[in-house]
Structure 1
């Protein structure tokens, strides 16, 4: 039995009949301001007056955070994976001074249904991504990486609402599949820095994508996931996205099998759709519509993705990750909007509220 398994999940791994619910996380973006920060980058539907039900909100507004927490509970989202851009960044300040206090206040008022949060380390934005070398860990980047995790340990990990697996604070690493150079030593150093602060890390790598798994890199993580499977050009002219979903499932199966061989967990990641073509943003990406095929409902792609994800659940973790709660620039949000309301969130709740054997 893996030492990091939480009690209920460890019980399932021992061979008992599985009755535990599926744990749902969603990527959460605390980067908006009501003066235009990030909203000015655009989002699909902006020109026709579509957008968030709450309007162009501030991520620092207590009312906004409370509404997001309320909707998350309604949609069955138990954990936010919060976008983090380094010590002292706008997102760091927003999390520490606004989001975390609101989460903990809600949990104190409603202890029966606690909301947790963890962090998404935005590797590309923080460390830089080279088109040829990826995110290359040289001495400088490795030192910066270690200091960033020292900050996380000091400022975040002791919070009661911080999400833990087997007692270990969880951090997701965006685009870990592009790591190059001596990333193994850099990850080990980050773990050591956190250990010195009294914590053991649970690192989730963004590894699952088209192409062959990298066994050596996967070995460096406690679990792996897929942030977004958008990519192969062959799907750009699709009208029926069933094949995209099925082939994504094939990729999940391949990565999950290899991860299991290495004692590494697997967290299926799904999207409700993808549209980065809004506003004034340059857009080289094709759209993945929320409609699986012509005539289907506006949540049919999400439902197909969810059904596929349940086929590839890690029986130990029983977790899925949703991209996203509120990444409006790429059109992956399940946050209620002005035209579709709560449709995506309600569908998400129905997808994962029933335990799967």
Structure 2
């Protein structure tokens, strides 16, 4: 079984605790940025997507949905307008902004095959390759997600993009791709161990779909995902010290 390492993700930016692989000049592969491909508009998609999501309610069910273009599901109105994540010009502009910040790896939020974000992936990989940037994946808690379905997801994504120069691979870890798993605690540690521990007959370890797997660290019990679940590291999604145990640097020992 592998020895887990700690990866700290501060809000949008991930800081890796290892030597970085070969990088395009000016772009750091030690810094990863979350990127969400779920936005859509009538011009590109034929309908609004995510800009019109449910209004957040502190108590009780949502009172309804936001109504774009004036009322949107965001505290800020985007300078580029209510874009579609499947618009090539928008994607190019976003990657230029990311590259200007020196960030070399885009951590793409993924909700499963066939979703709108999945359809944006090919555009992202093509454009990232042109800019010498890399892409990895943030596996979201899609309906029906299980350890076994995540194993299938790894096969799907690795097989689809293994030939792309934009697929992030860690040179210090056998050139394996990387997957972050949001809300990994929703699946029992024992189930994760069935696919991530090297001593399991159903393991991904040593197969063509092996990967660096990073679990979400919210509180102390999530450390079992490292020691017993077979994950290679943990990250915190939250950028506020004290918001969770995992977002508090004093606990990163």
TM-score by length of 1: 0.50
Q: Does 1:222 find its partner at 2:229?
A: no
Q: Does 1:202 find its partner at 2:228?
A: no
Q: Does 1:156 find its partner at 2:161?
A: yes
Alignment of 1:32-71 (within 5 A): 32-35=39-42, 36-41=48-53, 47=71, 50-71=76-97
Query: Which one of 152, 166, 179 corresponds to residue 171 of structure 1?
Result: 179
Give the CA RMSD over aligned residues. 3.5
Counterparts of 1:95 and 1:190, CA distance in 2 = 32
Counterparts of 1:249 and 1:143, CA distance in 2 = 26
How many residues were matched structurally? 206
Counterparts of 1:52 and 1:25, CA distance in 2 = 21
TM-score by length of 2: 0.68
Shift of 1:59: 0.7
Query: Which one of 31, 34, 38 corresponds to residue 27 of structure 1?
Result: 34
Structure with the greater relative contact order (CA < 8 A, sep ≥ 6): 1 or 2? 1
1:145–1:190: 8 Å Cα contact kept in structure 2? no
Counterparts of 1:190 and 1:156, CA distance in 2 = 26
Shift of 1:95: 0.3
Q: Does 1:187 find its partner at 2:196?
A: yes
Counterparts of 1:59 and 1:127, CA distance in 2 = 25
1:146–1:190: 8 Å Cα contact kept in structure 2? no
**3-state SS of the aligned residue for 2:78?**
coil
**3-state SS of the aligned residue for 2:106?**
strand
Shift in alpha-carbon separation, 1:74–1:42, aligned structure 2, 3 A = farther
Larger Rg: 1
Residue equivalent to 1:120: 138
Residue equivalent to 2:105: 79
Structure 1 unaligned residues grouped into runs of 5+: 11-20, 108-113, 129-140, 231-242, 258-357
Shift in alpha-carbon separation, 1:50–1:176, aligned structure 2, 3 A = closer
Shift of 1:37: 1.0
Deviations 1:154-202 (A, max 9, x none): 11233211112221101111111333152211334798447433x5311
Shift of 1:65: 0.8
Deviations 1:244-268 (A, max 9, x none): 47x86883332x21xxxxxxxxxxx
